[in-house]
Structure 1
């Protein structure tokens, strides 16, 4: 008798490991792009969100090539010593490839690149472990969804979820209501998973996705130029590779 398909367990969390062939292909791609483009930038991401990074890639498609993945693999592709560097000066650029960073290959002039990334910022919801950028206190009265336009109260069927996340609500004419003001988070302190979920439910965006340029390599001279200004804090880890 054939085995029932209903009894099969399918894991939705299993992720295939990167193979040696995949890493070799990535090394080759980075080296090929170092021969194609005039400049290579090392950039760092603050508050990593794949959705926003894909937006950056989309907006630069055709005028740049972006790689974001394991720093050790990208550094190896550039070369970490004068003897190993793929092109003149790249081993000095690889010294900046540490932590949550990526590579941007482009022919665009440096000032244009700097100004574009200075302007690109995307507010997003904080996650557990992120530091609260401000204190959020809900006033007494109906608990409101601030992301709706205009803001509207939560429906009655979401009251159990609000209570589970720590709000001391009461039902008033079918609306989850606070009898006194209640603080959700305090500025400067790490968010718990419950606080992060509450902030998302009410529509309070507390973090900003942005890209900070760290250093630039010029293919014509082999010179490395460090970019002034501190990089954004990398608040999350990501070990997946993303390339255009």
Structure 2
């Protein structure tokens, strides 16, 4: 049997969530797993006036989404993204712009066991700034082909310390720390966002707008070129096709002997006839003399 009553505090949270879900143009699900609380509150303050973050239990978030979806189509689609440590963010900003805003307030963090590397860390072959000593042995234990040469630590070949998305072990955390590499991006990640009845996954929100714009421009040009080649009439191709047809018609009218008279070709045909008459007259006069 479906529950219809809740403790007062739950009802208040549900009502607040429902109100925001029904009044915001865009709703997002945030992932703040392992996110430092001080940085979280700092970003929350920076967002004031542009977006609002509400943290609640996942069960309450899903329930609020279910209830609000009765009035706003598609909201229930966010429920699948509510897992682990989640929060809802409410804004009037477009989803892509919101995602870019959140990424702009991230910061680099050192490697710690259990964290996820945000990037590939690759040591390139060649001289390093590391002084000879225990560091060489540690590198060699990690599988790095390192040696001392002319008083400097030299890496013989490229070595991938860790891959993007890989969980950092204690051994790799120690090595990365000594290498001075901070491979973790502390970001409030937007798992998904809802807007105008549609769900946008986090991967989709990572689109490069400039690249997308260039791809669309190129696709438009290629489609226009193809339509013109096929002489396919569209609002964009009809003016060009009419100009082409007019040019071809005029060329044909001029080519047909003795010429097909039209408003456009008549002056040219008369001039041509006049020239031919003069040439004929000249030849006749020459024969007469």
TM-score, L = length of structure 1: 0.53
Aligned equivalent of 2:49: 62
Q: Partner of 1:215: helix, strand, or coil?
A: strand
Rounded to whole Å, the distance in 1 between the matches of 2:35 and 2:189 is 12
Structure 2 unaligned blocks of 5 or more: 1-6, 143-160, 207-289
Does residue 76 of structure 1 match 2:32?
Answer: no
Q: 1:229 to 1:191 in 2, by over 3 A?
A: closer
Aligned equivalent of 1:53: 40
**Per-residue deviation, 1:78:** 1.6
Aligned equivalent of 1:26: 13
Conserved 8 A contact 2:122-2:162: yes
| Larger gyration radius, structure 1 or structure 2 | 2
**Per-residue deviation, 1:181:** 4.4
Rounded to whole Å, the distance in 2 between the matches of 1:21 and 1:193 is 45
Rounded to whole Å, the distance in 2 between the matches of 1:121 and 1:29 is 28
Does residue 187 of structure 1 match 2:172?
Answer: no
Does residue 108 of structure 1 match 2:85?
Answer: no
Rounded to whole Å, the distance in 2 between the matches of 1:91 and 1:72 is 13
Rounded to whole Å, the distance in 1 between the matches of 2:200 and 2:104 is 19
Aligned equivalent of 1:205: 182
Rounded to whole Å, the distance in 2 between the matches of 1:39 and 1:55 is 22
Rounded to whole Å, the distance in 2 between the matches of 1:57 and 1:217 is 20
Aligned equivalent of 1:227: 201
**Per-residue deviation, 1:55:** 2.7
**Per-residue deviation, 1:138:** 9.1
Aligned equivalent of 1:169: none
Aligned equivalent of 2:114: 129
Matches within 5 A, 1:142-181: 178=134, 180-181=136-137
Q: Deviations over 1:88-133 (max 9, x none)?
A: 2232332332344321111223443233234443111222123555
Superposition CA RMSD, Å: 3.8
Structure 1 unaligned blocks of 5 or more: 1-19, 142-176, 233-244
**Per-residue deviation, 1:209:** 1.5
Q: Partner of 2:162: helix, strand, or coil?
A: coil
Conserved 8 A contact 1:126-1:196: yes
Question: Greater strand percent: which structure?
Answer: 1
Does residue 87 of structure 1 match 2:43?
Answer: no
Q: Partner of 2:115: helix, strand, or coil?
A: coil
> Which structure carries more relative contact order (alpha carbon 8 Å, separation 6+)?
1
1:38 to 25, 42, 46: 25
Rounded to whole Å, the distance in 1 between the matches of 2:15 and 2:91 is 17
Rounded to whole Å, the distance in 2 between the matches of 1:230 and 1:109 is 13
Conserved 8 A contact 1:63-1:108: yes
Conserved 8 A contact 2:53-2:90: yes
Question: Greater helix percent: which structure?
Answer: 2
